[in-house]
A = this chain, B = another copy of it.
């Protein structure tokens, strides 16, 4: 997805909000806002918003001298989700359609997103779970995904955030584990899941795991490691979680299914849905249409 003009104020709001979250130093707040402005002046708007997210969070890590400012937030998110895991697994096992329930709950977990808002609100998480159980995702889209999983030899599951990956476990348990590789970011960025999160929740004993070699809060293929590029090239199916993956992979490649909770009006407009909706969507060229 291209960057829309509405994304510009949002970059600055996010940059300031992130800077304030990770440090109390007003000089750093100003530096991050100024540098974000400087980057945005010349930013090609055909780049996706996560490209700018990557720049902003690199800035933030440099300015604070903290290589992983969201480490504590990620730990708390994983703990919050782990505490819910048994109950959630019970919901899946007790449901009429395990796959639909697991997909719905995996998407509910996408509410844990420090790119969009700067706090971990357990009420939001509980509300998202309730919504997912009361009003699961579209069955037709889910059946298309189910069929694609059955047909696929090699499946990549692109994770999004810490905490959310505990919810992803529910869906990974419904997939053919010997054919699935879970992919995390190659380095810390916002609260996106990395190797450390996978290990801390023990997901590496369930499925194969790799990182994509890049610190974009999304998946910009050309920035990823050669190993990831090769796997992406050859795989049969990509299950991509979250807005960042939608923004960077949207358009064209029909091997990609997006699973996300829509948290921003620009993405809602791009997808053609409402903010707050849970979306299962096979990639189409449609996703790249330009709206100004």
A interface residues (Cβ-Cβ under 8 A, vs B): 5-6, 8-10, 12-13, 16, 26, 29-30, 33-34, 37-38, 40-41, 45, 292
Contact = CB atoms under 8 A, between A and B. Distances in A.
Nearest to A30: B5
Contact of A16 (B9, B13, B38): B9
Contact of A41 (B6, B16, B30, B38): B38
A222 to B, nearest CB: 25
Contacts of A5: 16, 29-30, 33
A11 to B, nearest CB: 8
A32 to B, nearest CB: 9
Contacts of A292: 26, 29
B6 A9 contact: no
A241 to B, nearest CB: 27
Contact of A9 (B9, B30, B45): B9
Given A9-B9, A30-B45, 9 more contacts: A5-B16, A5-B33, A6-B16, A8-B12, A8-B16, A34-B41, A37-B37, A37-B40, A41-B41
A8 B26 contact: no
Given A40-B37, A41-B41, A10 B9 contact: yes
A242 B37 CA distance: 29
A interface, by DSSP: helix, strand, loop or mixed?
Answer: helix
Contacts of A13: 9
Cβ-closest 9 pairs across A and B: A9-B12, A26-B292, A9-B13, A9-B9, A37-B41, A8-B12, A5-B16, A5-B33, A37-B40
Contacts of A12: 8-9, 12
Contacts of A41: 34, 37-38, 41
Nearest to A10: B9
A9 B5 CA distance: 12
Contacts of A9: 9-10, 12-13, 16
Which of A8, A38, A292 counts the most B-chain CB atoms under 10 A from its CB?
A8
A20 to B, nearest CB: 9
9 contacts: A5-B16, A6-B16, A8-B12, A8-B16, A9-B12, A9-B13, A9-B16, A26-B292, A37-B40
A136 B30 CA distance: 39
A33 B8 contact: yes
Contacts of A40: 37
Contacts of A10: 9
A31 B45 CA distance: 12
Nearest to A291: B26
Nearest to A11: B9
A149 to B, nearest CB: 40
Contacts of A34: 41
